[in-house]
Structure 1
Amino acid sequence: MSSGSAIRGSRVGSSPMRPDERTEPAPRRQVSYFCAAGHNSRIWFAAEAPAPETWDCPRCGQPAGLDQEQPPGRSRTEPFKSHLAYVKERRSDEDAAAILAEALAKVRQRRGRE
């Protein structure tokens, strides 16, 4: 048995499904970008907006440029670094030993009171 709503998927005051004939889209232009893998990406921009020099290729994610003959090179991805690796970049082994000794002293002092 149906739910009784004759016009399913619409609401009172909704706009028509097709665009209004009295309006026209904003002026735009298509710019081609080329990546090192040989992909050609066509991106639409507003007519008055300047096109950026590089754009990420939607297929491979590498940088793409405006010049087909000389596309930008592949981006170098940095390997994953853990929090400990970043800490080791900032602190020396002596600093780490001093901080550890201070933290252990605080823990021992706390346990002595409890």
Structure 2
Amino acid sequence: MSSGSAIRGSRIGSSPMRPDERSEPAPRREVTYWCAAGHEVEVRFAADVVPPETWDCIRCGQPAGLDRANPPGKSRNEPYKSHLAYVKERRSEADGEAILAEALAKIRRRRGGA
């Protein structure tokens, strides 16, 4: 004797268990990409979409291309730069000293110092 609900194992609003007989899935095509490490990535696109030239490899994260014989090279990872490193690229030591002196002078005037 069974107990419980007749709809056990499904939830409200879930998709049907089998494809609908009255509709067809959109036409698709499979495009294959290759990365420099030799990995093969298969991606499905809609039939009317132009596939991009490169796609990220799902195994190594490097760019993969459509040409198996000439895959794109490895992407160059830029090292992490702090905010201070970017500031030092834009300003010289002399500029920094001048800005610091100006800011300190403003603080001293507000506090009533010399």
**TM-score, shorter chain, exceeding 0.5:** yes
> Structure 1 regions of 5+ residues with no counterpart?
none
Map of 1:65 onto structure 2: 65
Shift, 1:83, TM fit? 0.3
SS of residue matched to 1:24: coil
Mean CA deviation greater in 104-113 or 69-78? 104-113
Deviation (angstroms), 1:17: 3.1
- Structure 2 residue runs without a partner (length 5+): none
Q: Does 1:97 align with 2:93?
A: no
Q: Alpha-carbon deviation of 1:16? A: 3.5
- 3-state DSSP of counterpart to 1:41: strand
1:26 aligns with 26
Q: Against the structure 1 CA distance between its residues 14 and 36, is the aligned structure 2 distance closer, same or farther, given a 3 Å change threshold?
A: closer
Number of aligned pairs? Answer: 109
Partner of 2:110: 110
List, as ranges, runs of 4+ consecutive aligned residues in structure 1 with deviation greater than 4 Å. Answer: none
Give the Å deviation of 1:18.
2.6
- Of 14-23 and 55-64, deviating more is 14-23
Measure the CA separation in 2 of the matches of 1:95 and 1:80: 24
TM-score between both structures, scaled by the size of structure 1: 0.84
Percent of aligned pairs with the same amino acid: 70
Q: 1:15 offset after TM fit, Å? A: 6.0
Distance in 1 (alpha carbons) for counterparts of 2:67 and 2:17: 40
1:68-87 matched pairs, under 5 angstroms: 68-87=68-87
Provide the rounded CA distance (Å) in 2 between the counterparts of 1:58 and 1:104. Answer: 53
- The alignment yields a C-alpha RMSD, in angstroms, of 2.1
